[in-house]
């Protein structure tokens, strides 16, 4: 089934070929993506963006974050390893993004785990509205003030359980919300919703895959002004590549360490035919 918006207009419906066109556009345009990422995942984020064809920059100095954001195609904020200096860097970058029309992707890593994380997210939402919020079910539920327990940065809830919270958050931001899990859900304030069923469980055993997915969402948002479509394309790209990477590792009697290398290879070398053959998605009733 082709995911469509609730207005049922033909122009609102997407095909797999449309998502592939966005992937190809990232490879062609090599957009600059400014990531204020956490210390654990910075290198993998950069390598994922490079494999995808984008150009990463990781800058957090107060003296340059605004200038760096102004020249970027997208800004990605990741709260995984917080401290007051970095929080201020994110606020300055978010202000610059608003001034220059740069789309912002917010990854609320560990939302709900501590009051400090929750206060930080509330403060960032007061600075500006992100085009996309992408997180696991617990993080999205926490941001919507739903009752949920978070274990460190790991989700304790299934993605489907977070759908109502995601809708509430999308209404608050006026943008797109993506919930990652065994099934990925992408919805927006206009009522468009889709489910993605690609991926592999081993993706949860490599540090930084989710954070790198948020960076990849930023890369597609840099070339595709429809944030919902951009998020779908990025999440499908990562999920199909991850699925293929796990299969290659298993076929060679390898584990998750080798899978991480295969994942970068598949992000770079994935073909249109492979993408369209494997893509599994569907519309989700509002």
pLDDT per residue over 84-101, tens digit each?
A: 999 999 999 999 999 999
Q: What is the pLDDT of residue 3?
A: 64
Cβ-contact 72, 34 below 8 angstroms: yes
pLDDT above 90: residue 72: yes
Helix axes 227-251, 16-29, angle to 10 degrees: 90
Q: Identify the CA nearest to 76 among candidates 102, 111, 52.
A: 102
The Cβ-side half-sphere exposure at 176, using a 13 Å CA radius, reads: 29
Q: What is the pLDDT of residue 196?
A: 97
Euclidean distance between CA atoms 179 and 166, whole angstroms: 7
Q: Name the percent of the chain lying above pLDDT 90.
A: 87
pLDDT in tens, 185-203: 999 999 999 999 999 999 9
pTM over 0.85: yes
Q: What is the pLDDT of residue 274?
A: 98
pLDDT in tens, 138-176: 999 999 886 455 554 444 456 678 899 999 999 999 999
């Amino acid at each position: 089934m082709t995911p469509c918006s609730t207005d049922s207009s033909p122009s609102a419906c997407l095909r797999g070929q449309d998502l592939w066109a966005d992937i190809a556009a990232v490879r062609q345009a090599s957009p600059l993506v400014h990531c204020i990422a956490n210390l654990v995942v910075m290198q993998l984020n950069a390598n994922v963006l490079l494999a995808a064809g984008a150009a990463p920059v990781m800058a957090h100095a107060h003296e340059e974050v605004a200038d760096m954001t102004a020249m970027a195609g997208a800004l990605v904020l990741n709260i995984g390893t917080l401290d007051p200096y970095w929080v201020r860097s994110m606020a300055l970058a978010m202000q610059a993004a608003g001034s220059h029309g740069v789309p912002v992707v917010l990854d609320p890593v560990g939302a709900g785990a501590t009051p400090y994380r929750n206060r930080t997210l509330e403060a960032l939402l007061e600075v500006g509205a992100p085009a996309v919020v992408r997180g696991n079910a617990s993080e999205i539920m926490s941001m919507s003030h739903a009752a949920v327990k978070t274990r460190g940065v790991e989700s304790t809830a299934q993605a489907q359980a977070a759908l109502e919270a995601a809708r509430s958050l999308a209404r608050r931001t006026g943008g797109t919300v993506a919930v990652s899990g065994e099934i990925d859900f992408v919805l927006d304030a206009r009522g468009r919703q889709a489910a993605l069923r690609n991926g592999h469980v081993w993706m949860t055993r490599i540090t930084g895959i989710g954070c790198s997915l948020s960076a990849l969402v930023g890369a597609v948002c840099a070339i595709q002004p429809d944030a919902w479509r951009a998020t779908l394309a990025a999440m499908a790209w990562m999920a199909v590549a991850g699925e293929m990477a796990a299969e290659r590792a298993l076929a060679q009697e390898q584990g998750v360490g080798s899978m991480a290398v295969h994942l970068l290879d598949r992000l770079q070398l994935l073909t249109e035919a492979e993408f369209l053959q494997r893509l599994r998605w569907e519309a989700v009733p509002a």
